[in-house]
Structure 1
Amino acid sequence: MKPMIASLRASAAPAEEDSHWLVVSDLMATLMMVFLFLAVLHMAQVERTHLVETEVRTTATESRQAIYQALEDEFRDDLPRWRAELVEPTLTLRFREPDVLFDRSSARIKPEFEAILRDFLPRYLAQLRAFKDVIREIRIEGHTSSEWSTDTRPLQAYFLNMELSQQRTQAVLRFAYDLEGLEKETWFRDRVAAVGLSSSRLVYDASGEEDAEASRRVEFSVLTDFESRLLEPIELDTTANRLGTPPEVGATGARPDTTAG
């Protein structure tokens, strides 16, 4: 009897061992399938992110080029007589003749600059209106030189010029809202910012010295929503139920709306 029992036990041991390895094998296969699915999902996410970023960059480039071209076409003939310039990379229209803009140490707009603004501002907003869906901010910037009175310390001069530059941009903004029709441009009010930058962005001459005259200027810059669109969440449809088939991808709100130009 004992030999028979021993024989049965001996024959059962390999069967139990085989069953154990089958369980381990099934578990490993399941884990491999899970890892493979996660890898496919990650690859799809990377690919979709790349496609969205490329699409947004392309759309942003096209939008910025269209804005620049619209402003260039509108103001090409005016820039020389205004002594202004249009800078393409930053979409900045720069008024760079300080003797026309303000009196020294004053935030009162000179009559010559009032005449320019009265002509410029309605036309400027008319050109930008078509792009309002991709414009994040219209920034009016006031810039000064680093100069103040001779007995003023540099840091004190910086803050005095900061206050002066802020007062000047606010004066320009108030003047804009006093123009007929501009008070109805609610989209402009939602996006405009009047910023005084003091002497933080000086202009230098060829020898590396501060060009005080060129540093005193007023700029109108357009900022698009390129960065915010890149930061919008990208969602993947993870309902794909067949391993080896990349899940269908889709972005929620990541595609730029170019209906307005």
Structure 2
Amino acid sequence: MAINHLFQNRRQNDEDHWISVSDLMAGLMVVFLFIAISYMKDIVTEKERIEAIAVTWNETQNALYNDLSEEFSDDLPKWDASLDRETLSIRFKEPSVLFSSGEAVLNDQFKDILRDFFPRYLAVLDQYRNELAEVRIEGHTSSAWNGATSPIDAYFKNMELSQGRTRSVLQFVLELPEIAAYRTWAIANITANGLSSSNPILDEQGEELADLSRRVEFRVRTNAEQKIVNILQASE
């Protein structure tokens, strides 16, 4: 009898032990479930915030393109310039108007264009200043350079030239008296970028169009990308 009673007590203790373990496992499963649900909710919230930024970015792109187009549509043909919807870039593409060959000094005709263009350009951008990350003045060249000893030599000579040209453009437009109201913002947000021949204009066969590659562009970059980066960093 005593031995049977002992086995019964031991079996009861074992059952109590396994019941406790099963209760613990069930509790852990509930905890993990709540963590998973919370994590999924954070992912959904993050996705919704990024989608909202993408929608706002698209709306801003379209609105800014429309405003730039409305402001300059009559002037672009006479300036031999164009406006690109995707990059919000205004491209001045007649090299003989911009600079003398191999020089970084602005031609008088280009100065006249910039006097007309730049104050109006800033007036349009001012409506979107909270949505903008940067305004880039980009200088582009062809890949050619007379007297270059190699393609890499030509590339760096053109790099120096394109950097000098964008600095000349930036200095000229920032000194215009007509932009006094925007000058502080312009100094903080406009950059000069000499890109040498890294982004040439090509024809349908992929051949470089040298004259079209020699150009100056005013390109707008919105802050949508940085907002998305901030969301992703905050979630880490």
TM-score relative to the length of structure 2: 0.94
1:172 is aligned to 169
2:198 is aligned to 200
Structure 2 residue identity aligned to 1:159: F
Q: CA deviation at 1:218?
A: 0.3
Indicate the SS of the match to 1:138.
Answer: strand
Q: CA deviation at 1:153?
A: 2.0
Q: Which residues of 2 match residues 100-119 of structure 1 at below 5 A?
A: 100-119=97-116
Q: Which residues of 2 match residues 68-79 of structure 1 at below 5 A?
A: 68-79=65-76
1:244 is aligned to none
1:238 is aligned to none
Q: 2:217 aligns with which of 206, 216, 219?
A: 219
Q: CA deviation at 1:11?
A: 2.5
Distance verdict in 2 for CA 1:207–1:30, change over 3 Å: closer
Do structure 1's residue 37 and structure 2's residue 34 form an aligned pair? yes
Q: CA deviation at 1:233?
A: 3.2
Deviations 1:99-140 (A, max 9, x none): 100000011100110000000000000000010111001000
Do structure 1's residue 147 and structure 2's residue 144 form an aligned pair? yes
Indicate the SS of the match to 1:105.
Answer: coil
Indicate the SS of the match to 1:62.
Answer: helix
Q: 2:64 aligns with which of 67, 80, 100?
A: 67
Give the unaligned 5+ runs of structure 1: 236-250, 253-261
1:255 is aligned to none
Q: Which moved more, 1:53-62 or 1:7-16?
A: 7-16
Cα distance in 2 between the residues matched to 1:151 and 1:234: 46
Indicate the SS of the match to 1:130.
Answer: helix
Q: When the two structures are aligned, how many residues end up with a matched partner?
A: 234
Do structure 1's residue 189 and structure 2's residue 177 form an aligned pair? no
**Contact 2:99–2:106 under 8 Å retained in 1:** yes
Q: CA deviation at 1:150?
A: 4.1
Distance verdict in 2 for CA 1:7–1:209, change over 3 Å: closer
Q: Which residues of 2 match residues 78-117 of structure 1 at below 5 A?
A: 78-117=75-114
Q: Which residues of 2 match residues 40-59 of structure 1 at below 5 A?
A: 40-59=37-56
Deviations 1:49-96 (A, max 9, x none): 211111110011001111111100100100010010000000000000
Q: 2:124 aligns with which of 107, 123, 127?
A: 127
Give the unaligned 5+ runs of structure 2: none
Q: CA deviation at 1:155?
A: 1.1
TM-score relative to the length of structure 1: 0.85
Q: Hey, which of these two has a bigger chunk of helix by percent? A: 2
**Contact 2:88–2:220 under 8 Å retained in 1:** yes
Cα distance in 2 between the residues matched to 1:138 and 1:115: 21
* Aligned-CA RMSD value: 1.7
Cα distance in 2 between the residues matched to 1:70 and 1:224: 15
Structure 2 residue identity aligned to 1:104: S
Cα distance in 2 between the residues matched to 1:13 and 1:140: 84
Cα distance in 1 between the residues matched to 2:221 and 2:60: 11
Q: Which moved more, 1:151-160 or 1:128-137?
A: 151-160
Indicate the SS of the match to 2:65.
Answer: helix
1:210 is aligned to 208
Indicate the SS of the match to 1:133.
Answer: helix
Q: CA deviation at 1:234?
A: 6.5
Structure 2 residue identity aligned to 1:225: N
Cα distance in 2 between the residues matched to 1:58 and 1:151: 48
Fraction of identical pairs, as percent: 44
Q: CA deviation at 1:47?
A: 0.9
**Contact 2:148–2:154 under 8 Å retained in 1:** no
